[in-house]
Amino acid sequence: QVQLVESGGGLVQPGGSLRLSCVASGRISDVYAMGWYRQGAGQQRELVASINRNSIPLYADFAQGRFAISEISGLNARKTVHLEMNSLKPEDTAVYYCNADLNVTASSSELRIRTTWGQGTQVIVSS
């Protein structure tokens, strides 16, 4: 069974920092992209940042300059993505969800691409 497991959420004061991590596991032959979305109370889920298999990042406007998405040694190698969040604001309070586009087969020669979501991790920015 393919799953994404997030870690690193919590309570932080305004101006503080948090680091979120997400690891994909299961039968995965290729990782095309991994990223983070968030959903605040009463709001729609929105993209925070993503990174593709060529290590090219994409950021939402609100994340540019404050957040940094990264992976180590390539998405296919570690199947792990991190989100460093700095200068956090109360409006960053939300549940943060890991997202990944995966080829959920045993071999790259067989394609079965699925978009997979993690369970979410709560981030609260408050004094």
- Note whether 69 and 100 are within 8 A (CB): no
Q: Which two tokens stand for residue 69?
A: 């998405």
Kindly report, residue by residue over 41-85, the tens digit of the pLDDT: 999 999 999 999 999 999 999 999 999 999 988 888 889 999 999
Kindly report, residue by residue over 2-45, the tens digit of the pLDDT: 999 999 999 999 999 999 999 999 999 999 999 999 999 999 99
Max Cα-Cα span within the chain = 51
Q: Which pLDDT does position 1 carry in this prediction?
A: 87
Q: Which pLDDT does position 106 carry in this prediction?
A: 87
Long-range pairs for 53-60: beta carbons < 8 A, 24 or more residues apart: none
Q: In angstroms, what CA-CA distances link 105 with 5, 28, 121? A: 19, 6, 27
